[in-house]
Structure 1
């Protein structure tokens, strides 16, 4: 029996996969729980159309991410923080501060998509990694200066 999975099922497959299972497993567990539907000819056509549309949307999102990445190439940010005489920052620079600095430069980036190669705890130069898309990552240099 062939089943089209509606969501990820551990040890079986991922969403939108067509898997072959025993009839009892499909009829008594997967279909009633809503984990899958019977893979009829019409359901396969609907799946193919949905995958085609999803691919088109993902391609558009990737192109937008590439455009933003190209604009971010020459950007260098400066973030002010209170620091001691040794250069150690009181607290730490976080992704919210980097997102705010990017917003001031005219780039709207979600703070959850920002990571650091090394935590900025001292005054100096660092790099923030922006995950714009699963395939598009941009490194943006920033400086932490004492206020």
Structure 2
């Protein structure tokens, strides 16, 4: 089913874009939550009329994302963990551990924003990208040290 997004949804696209989604997803989530409208000719015409409003909202979101990225870029946090050998951790450092370390510094981000491919299992310094917006990904520095 084709729908036109009325707000930016990270996994689908930005506001005003026309996307194809599963029928159930559109019927049960997007349409009742008013996050999208059906991609009919009338709604496309409405989209053309409201394009300026959409572009202004996109610009605001992008400006906020750039500001947040500037705050995050180069931010570092240190996480102490128990080690078995010189560098191997008993457990692992996960997204939750990183979020808690950032929260102690007063930086609040959501879990899905961290692009940690797999949990950290060794001590060392890691650069971890954070997806703030579609094409805005600053890197934070996470240093894992022995406890």
TM-score (norm 1): 0.68
Root-mean-square deviation (CA, aligned residues, Å) is 2.6
Show the counterpart of 1:6.
Answer: 3
1:1-147 to structure 2, matched below 5 A, reads: 5-6=2-3, 17=18, 35-37=38-40, 39-40=41-42, 43-116=43-116, 119-147=119-147
> Paired residues, what number?
119
Pair 61,35 (structure 1): closer, same or farther in 2 beyond 3 Å = closer
Contact kept in structure 1, 2:76 and 2:142, CA below 8 Å = yes
Distance in 2 (CA, whole Å) between partners of 1:45 and 1:7 is: 11
| CA spacing shift, 1:62–1:84, aligned 2, 3 Å | same
The 1:35–1:70 alpha-carbon spacing in structure 2 relative to 1, beyond 3 Å, is: closer
**Superposed displacement of residue 52, structure 1:** 3.0
Q: Which entry has the higher C-alpha Rg, 1 or 2? A: 1
Structure 2 residue runs of 5 or longer lacking an equivalent are 6-12, 19-36
Judged with a 3 Å threshold, the aligned counterparts in structure 2 of structure 1 residues 94 and 58 are, in CA distance, closer, same or farther, namely same
Consecutive unaligned residues of structure 1, counting only runs of 5 or more, are 9-13, 18-33
Instruction: Give TM-score scaled by structure 2 length.
Output: 0.68
